[in-house]
Amino acid sequence: MAEKKWTLTDIDREIYTDQLVLGPDDVAETPDGWRVVKQTLRGGLRDNVDVVAIQNGALQLVVVPTRGMGLWRGKCEHLEIGWQSPVRGPVHPQFVPLAQPDGLGWLAGFDELLCRCGIESNGAPEFDEQGRLMHGLHGRIANLPASQVEVAIDAAAGEIRLSGIVDEARLFGAKLRLITTYATRFGSKQITIRDQIVNLSAEPVDAMLLYHVNFGPPLLVPGSRAVIPIKTMAPVNSRAAEGIDRWDVYEDGQPGFVEQCYFFQLASDPSGNTRVMLRDEEGHAAVSLCFNVQQLPCFTIWKNTQMPPDGYVTGLEPGINFPTTRSFETQHGRGRHLEGGQQLDLNLTIQVHTDARSVAEAEAEIQRLQQAVAPTIHRQPIPEWSPAD
Amino acid sequence: MAEKKWTLTDIDREIYTDQLVLGPDDVAETPDGWRVVKQTLRGGLRDNVDVVAIQNGALQLVVVPTRGMGLWRGKCEHLEIGWQSPVRGPVHPQFVPLAQPDGLGWLAGFDELLCRCGIESNGAPEFDEQGRLMHGLHGRIANLPASQVEVAIDAAAGEIRLSGIVDEARLFGAKLRLITTYATRFGSKQITIRDQIVNLSAEPVDAMLLYHVNFGPPLLVPGSRAVIPIKTMAPVNSRAAEGIDRWDVYEDGQPGFVEQCYFFQLASDPSGNTRVMLRDEEGHAAVSLCFNVQQLPCFTIWKNTQMPPDGYVTGLEPGINFPTTRSFETQHGRGRHLEGGQQLDLNLTIQVHTDARSVAEAEAEIQRLQQAVAPTIHRQPIPEWSPAD
Amino acid sequence: MAEKKWTLTDIDREIYTDQLVLGPDDVAETPDGWRVVKQTLRGGLRDNVDVVAIQNGALQLVVVPTRGMGLWRGKCEHLEIGWQSPVRGPVHPQFVPLAQPDGLGWLAGFDELLCRCGIESNGAPEFDEQGRLMHGLHGRIANLPASQVEVAIDAAAGEIRLSGIVDEARLFGAKLRLITTYATRFGSKQITIRDQIVNLSAEPVDAMLLYHVNFGPPLLVPGSRAVIPIKTMAPVNSRAAEGIDRWDVYEDGQPGFVEQCYFFQLASDPSGNTRVMLRDEEGHAAVSLCFNVQQLPCFTIWKNTQMPPDGYVTGLEPGINFPTTRSFETQHGRGRHLEGGQQLDLNLTIQVHTDARSVAEAEAEIQRLQQAVAPTIHRQPIPEWSPAD
């Protein structure tokens, strides 16, 4: 008895499931306490947004097919994971003006725990010589709906899987496909994301992907720390350089706080595996991200400790590239060159730590990674990574 | 026995009511003839637009939660109130390209009787030095959906109330909330709008709000007159100056008529209360607006007597500010500075006059306001109010 | 016993039909094998798109009221008609950023067999002196929803008719209405499109309309040919001039192929009727378009034989004008000047040829048209038709 599957959306087969509730009664030999619920939200900015809530017995997660299969929120025991954006989402893409001439319209939809940025471009907006927007902030993928969504319950493996396909494709533009699977085991405090990026075109393209993973309270509070195994790091600009001595510690919210970003090459084990963590001051709670630096060589920390109503948040952001402009990244050989038809695997695991021992173990693992390499810390921006201020 | 309430939308509690019909049978001790109907429209540009129709026994009103709680149309006895825009709304915001580079996309949705313009900005589009749109015509609030909508029937007060909350908020942008209540008594020919603007941010902002209240036939016909108690007035530009001698009288529709705007500080009673009116030539029908100049110090008349299929319409527009650009208004100290967390009350009453006596009484009241102050009429634009032509 | 009608959408009468299936049992004295099905699609980019599928016994067609009454796909016997765009539509206009500053956002929705371009403008994007978009590629009409849709079954005439009204209108903008009827007889391999363009305004306007009729495999394959009765032709630019010797023959798909367009005045019969055709190499299958050059004086061929995943496609495009910029077309007297209230008729018939005899007959007809006039073939762009390269 392998897995049992439900198709939630499949535009080719004209399948669309408005509401679905799955639980132990639906699949033999599964434990109590899990649940998968598909809903279509109504009202406000969320009108017509599809969401899939996954409860594996320990972890609750909400995935949003309508927003590029992003991960909206999580909860583990009593620990809320995510952040409070000034906009109350999940926001339907119809209300997100990606075409806004200043390239910042993407912000109108931004409130997720995990938001993919890409795939043709991510990072800062880029304009042509006449000042016309070429690439908006963080690209299109987070505001494109999935064309296929499927949930699978695998009793043998003890796993819940949610898969989706999102295409970012048009005539005379990039033709890129995201195939994603969220997989989590019953009772586990971690979820693994397996993404494939496929260049559907017959022509080559440079793909850019960054996982914008965002945390606010209660995990992010004054005294919280980022624990990062550093190979090389540099502040992105002079503003970030001001905070270089305390880059890993979070302060209280400040009105008018101007964001600070730090770029990293991470230390890893010989296979490239690495881990980063955000933990509270006492070390009682943390979230760590595990990934491979061969897949995701560029890591960014985004510190944005504005006052809570303005968005008190930090981002831990593994990426193919750094979030500068597309052309700057391309010039510096970042982005992943994909030939026509070529595909690319990206994996990311999010683990929630809800007790001191689990936090300490993860931190110890990061320290071991760090001990293997002497960190290079640039106190000022470096030209390979940062466009001129 | 106080009020009875129905929540139509509440995104926090996941409440959304697709259809609802309320009437005397639903609330004890209410008179015959009232009705509140919630519908979701389908088809055309109105697809998925929520509307709430209120019939109080004398007045019919249609409020549009999907369009920032705007007031789409009214009717009192046989008098239609509103106008015929070239676009047949109510238009869903998904079809309104606010990001259009010329800043005029807002017009694609404009057909309401009362449309709020704001809250971060209203008035003319404003561009940065490179010609990129910063603030589109009349802002965002009219194309944002309400996140909470509630209807209350208060038998004791004899009142129908419809409330809504609309947020104009995003990371790195203004965080402004509109809390609005439309209140009307059974059998009354007036409706009172009580708005609160809340600065949700911890940081200060200049809020701009203007009520774009628009009338076409049958109230606006050749010979109709605006009756306005003037403290100071000026035409907005040389085009408006051409019409200064007949600023208060409406002519027949003209093909190619170029709009004329007049700015006013109004005369008021000692408490700041004032009234403006649009009446037909004979004085048999009118609509008047009552508000307080301490809340709404800037009043604008918009004359746009194009031919009927092009939009034969006038706007009576009480505002916090004049509808020039945001930066011009800010430079001249208009707009309302709100500290973090601060809120602001704005009240506006719309009264419909369907007989000669009621028209005459309202006009007499305006004349009394006028008698208390000698009007200053500028025949040309003044630099405090109008950017250079 | 004349026709029987069903209203699918009528915003004025608040009619909207979510699902409808009609067939021989619904109308007396009609043959077996026909069917009309109205659906609202769900999921992906097609979420909330209304489609009407017509099966007349020989021909299957899908019309999309939500996309300006465009014709999405066709099928005749086993011959698929249309093309595979990189975007998998039909795409709801909410996902089409017409306001994109580069003017190319229209491409995000482009995958139809027949797509109207216009009505205020079509062709290349046009910008103001500051580089701000004035007219996006191919205009708005294909991304506006119909406000009225009706299906009629006429047993006496043996005809299925689908009609719709789409308005492209706003205050201070063009006020243009498309009234379209698709008519096809039971068992026929052709469909006739009768369009009326109405200038709803009291002021004149230049209307622009182009039928972007697009074909991919299996009709378009290497060796397929365009058969066109030429009065005058010219390549649109130097890129197209490179291919002038083989303008009518299609090659294999090439990665990075840059599109080539050719402009034509067509030969016609004395009444102005003409025919153009796309046929396969063997002459076993073809589609021809019949129209009148007095209505549609400008004909364009668009060759875009990129590799299949990038869009292997050709367009046969009868138009009021050529698809350059609006101002260039207006300067050269193309576009149709409509006085206030004036209307314009445009007719187009699409005929599918599924056997060698039918292909040969249509080709012979085109040859007869050609024999009446000596073609003028410009090997380089001409200034009356093409802006400077």
CB atoms under 10 Å from CB of C54, counted, come to 23
Q: pLDDT at position A388, please? A: 83
Residue C382 inside a domain? The answer is no
Residue with tokens 């509270």: A280
Chain A residues lying within 8 Å of B341, measured CB to CB: 309
Residue B384 inside a domain? The answer is no
Q: Tell me the residues of chain A between 234 and 293 that have a Cβ less than 8 Å away from chain B.
A: 253, 255-256
What gap in Å lies between CA B81 and CA B279, rounded to an integer? 12
Cβ atoms A105, A162 nearer than 8 A? no
Q: Is the ipTM of this complex over 0.90?
A: yes
| pLDDT tens, position by position, A286-319 | 999 999 999 999 999 999 999 999 999 999 999 9
B375: phi then psi, degrees, rounded to nearest 5: -70, 140
Q: Which residue of A has its CA nearest to B130?
A: A131
Partner-chain residue, chosen from B44, B97, B256, that has the shortest CB–CB distance to C203: B256
A367 touches chain C (CB under 8 A): no
C382 touches chain B (CB under 8 A): no
B21 burial type by CB count under 10 A (0-12 exposed, 13-18 middle, 19+ buried): exposed
What gap in Å lies between CA B256 and CA B240, rounded to an integer? 15
How far C368 CA sits from the closest chain A CA (Å)?
Answer: 37
User: Among residues of chain A, what percentage have pLDDT more than 70?
Assistant: 99
Using only the alpha carbons of chain B, give its radius of gyration: 20
Concatenated DSSP letters of C153-168:
EETTTTEEEEEEEEEE
Partner-chain residue, chosen from C95, C102, C307, that has the shortest CB–CB distance to A132: C102
**B251 is written with which tokens?**
């002519």
B102 burial type by CB count under 10 A (0-12 exposed, 13-18 middle, 19+ buried): middle
Cβ atoms A142, A68 nearer than 8 A? yes
C41 touches chain B (CB under 8 A): no
Partner-chain residue, chosen from A101, A133, A202, that has the shortest CB–CB distance to C310: A202
Q: Which residue of B has its CA nearest to A311?
A: B171
A59 burial type by CB count under 10 A (0-12 exposed, 13-18 middle, 19+ buried): buried
Residues of chain B with pLDDT under 50: none
Q: Which helix (H) or strand (E) holds B200?
A: none
Q: pLDDT at position B165, please? A: 98
Q: How far apart are the first and last CA of chain B?
A: 59
CB atoms under 10 Å from CB of A58, counted, come to 19
Q: Which residue of C has its CA nearest to B108?
A: C170
Q: pLDDT at position C2, please? A: 73
| pLDDT tens, position by position, A97-135 | 999 999 999 999 999 999 999 999 999 999 999 999 999
Q: pLDDT at position C109, please? A: 98
What gap in Å lies between CA A287 and CA A213, rounded to an integer? 10
Residue B151 inside a domain? The answer is yes
| Chain center to CA of A177 | 17
Q: Which of C310, C312, C313, C314 to mutate to probe the A interface, most A CBs <10 Å?
A: C310
Partner-chain residue, chosen from C9, C97, C132, that has the shortest CB–CB distance to B102: C132
In chain C, the number of structural domains is: 1
Q: Which of A127, A310, A312 to mutate to probe the B interface, most B CBs <10 Å?
A: A310
What gap in Å lies between CA A132 and CA A109, rounded to an integer? 22
**A130 is written with which tokens?**
């006449």
Q: Quick check: A100 and B133 CB within 8 A?
A: yes
What gap in Å lies between CA A214 and CA A212, rounded to an integer? 6
Listed residue (C34, C26, C354) closest to C187, CA to CA: C34
State how far the alpha carbon of A299 is from the alpha carbons of A38, B189, C42, in Å. 33, 63, 37
Q: Quick check: C255 and A202 CB within 8 A?
A: yes
Q: Quick check: C11 and B104 CB within 8 A?
A: no
Note the residue count of chain B. 389
Cβ atoms A266, A230 nearer than 8 A? yes
Q: Which helix (H) or strand (E) holds A266?
A: strand A260-266
Strand partners, B230: B266
| pLDDT tens, position by position, A178-228 | 999 999 999 999 999 999 999 999 999 999 999 999 999 999 999 999 999
Strand partners, C184: C160
Chain C residues lying within 8 Å of A146, measured CB to CB: 43-44
Q: pLDDT at position B388, please? A: 83
What gap in Å lies between CA B92 and CA B47, rounded to an integer? 7
What gap in Å lies between CA A133 and CA A137, rounded to an integer? 10
Residue A389 inside a domain? The answer is no
How far C157 CA sits from the closest chain A CA (Å)?
Answer: 34
Average pLDDT over residues C294-305: 98
State how far the alpha carbon of B102 is from the alpha carbons of A285, A311, A323, C93, C279, in Å. 49, 30, 29, 20, 44
Residue C386 inside a domain? The answer is no
**Count of CB pairs separated by less than 8 Å, A with C:** 105
State how far the alpha carbon of A313 is from the alpha carbons of A62, A153, A253, A285, in Å. 19, 34, 9, 16
**A24 is written with which tokens?**
């132990």
C265: phi then psi, degrees, rounded to nearest 5: -100, 135
Residue B386 inside a domain? The answer is no
Q: Which helix (H) or strand (E) holds B15?
A: strand B15-16
Q: Quick check: B145 and A311 CB within 8 A?
A: no
Q: Quick check: A171 and C86 CB within 8 A?
A: yes
User: Among residues of chain C, what percentage have pLDDT more than 90?
Assistant: 98
Strands C230-235, C376-377: pairing is parallel
Chain C residues lying within 8 Å of A14, measured CB to CB: 41
Q: pLDDT at position A2, please? A: 73
Neighbours of chain C (3+ CB pairs under 8 A): A, B
**B365 is written with which tokens?**
């009241």
How far B102 CA sits from the closest chain C CA (Å)?
Answer: 7
What gap in Å lies between CA B265 and CA B234, rounded to an integer? 9
CATH code (residue C207)? 2.70.98.10
- For residue A21, give the 3-state DSSP assignment: strand
B46 touches chain C (CB under 8 A): yes
Residues contacting A271, CB < 8 A, separation 6+: A292
**A115 is written with which tokens?**
């938001």
Task: Give the per-residue SS3 of B281-293.
Answer: CCCCCEEEEEEEC
Burial B144-156 (b: 16+ CB within 10 A, else e): bbbbbbbbbbbbe
| pLDDT tens, position by position, B66-93 | 999 999 999 999 999 999 999 999 999 9
Q: Which residue of C has its CA nearest to B87?
A: C170
Q: pLDDT at position A1, please? A: 54
Q: pLDDT at position B1, please? A: 54
- For residue C175, give the 3-state DSSP assignment: strand
**C69 is written with which tokens?**
């009454």
Listed residue (B249, B268, B223) closest to B365, CA to CA: B268
State how far the alpha carbon of A316 is from the alpha carbons of A87, A110, A227, C296, in Å. 20, 15, 10, 58
Chain B residues lying within 8 Å of A311, measured CB to CB: 171-172
Q: pLDDT at position C232, please? A: 98
What gap in Å lies between CA C197 and CA C159, rounded to an integer? 23
Partner-chain residue, chosen from B10, B172, B202, that has the shortest CB–CB distance to A309: B202
Residues contacting C57, CB < 8 A, separation 6+: C31, C32, C33, C34, C186, C187
Cβ atoms C214, C114 nearer than 8 A? yes
Residue C45 inside a domain? The answer is yes
What gap in Å lies between CA B99 and CA B97, rounded to an integer? 5
Listed residue (C348, C324, C272) closest to C114, CA to CA: C348
Neighbours of chain B (3+ CB pairs under 8 A): A, C
How far B264 CA sits from the closest chain C CA (Å)?
Answer: 25
Partner-chain residue, chosen from C42, C86, C94, that has the shortest CB–CB distance to A200: C86
Cβ atoms C384, C334 nearer than 8 A? no
Q: Which residue of B has its CA nearest to A108?
A: B170
C223 touches chain A (CB under 8 A): no
Q: Which of C19, C48, C100 to mutate to probe the A interface, most A CBs <10 Å?
A: C100
How far C183 CA sits from the closest chain B CA (Å)?
Answer: 22
Chain C residues lying within 8 Å of A170, measured CB to CB: 85-87, 107-108, 110
Chain A residues lying within 8 Å of C101, measured CB to CB: 99, 101, 132-133
How far A166 CA sits from the closest chain C CA (Å)?
Answer: 8
Q: Quick check: C87 and A134 CB within 8 A?
A: no
A245 burial type by CB count under 10 A (0-12 exposed, 13-18 middle, 19+ buried): exposed
Listed residue (C99, C93, C110, C310) closest to A174, CA to CA: C310
Listed residue (C171, A102, C172) closest to B127, CA to CA: A102
Partner-chain residue, chosen from C46, C100, C253, that has the shortest CB–CB distance to A99: C100
Using only the alpha carbons of chain C, give its radius of gyration: 20
Average pLDDT, chain A: 97
- For residue A71, give the 3-state DSSP assignment: strand
Q: Which amino acid, one-letter code, is at B215?
A: F
Sign (positive or negative) of CA dihedral A232, A238, A242, A247: negative
Q: Which of B41, B50, B171, B201 to mutate to probe the A interface, most A CBs <10 Å?
A: B171
**Count of CB pairs separated by less than 8 Å, B with C:** 105
How far A320 CA sits from the closest chain C CA (Å)?
Answer: 24
Dihedral angle, C-alpha A33, A37, A42, A48, nearest 10 °: 150
CB atoms under 10 Å from CB of B38, counted, come to 22
How far A243 CA sits from the closest chain C CA (Å)?
Answer: 36
Burial C91-114 (b: 16+ CB within 10 A, else e): bbbbbbbbbbbbbbbbbbbbbbbb
Q: Quick check: A309 and B175 CB within 8 A?
A: yes
Residues contacting A178, CB < 8 A, separation 6+: A68, A69, A116, A119, A141, A164, A165, A166, A167, A168, A195, A196, A197
Cβ atoms C107, A173 nearer than 8 A? yes
Residue B73 inside a domain? The answer is yes
Q: Which of A39, A42, A110 to mutate to probe the B interface, most B CBs <10 Å?
A: A42
Chain C residues lying within 8 Å of B43, measured CB to CB: 9-11, 15-16, 145-147, 149
Chain A residues lying within 8 Å of B172, measured CB to CB: 104, 107, 311
What gap in Å lies between CA B357 and CA A316, rounded to an integer? 69
Q: Which domain holds residue A327?
A: 3-377
* pTM beyond 0.90, yes or no: yes
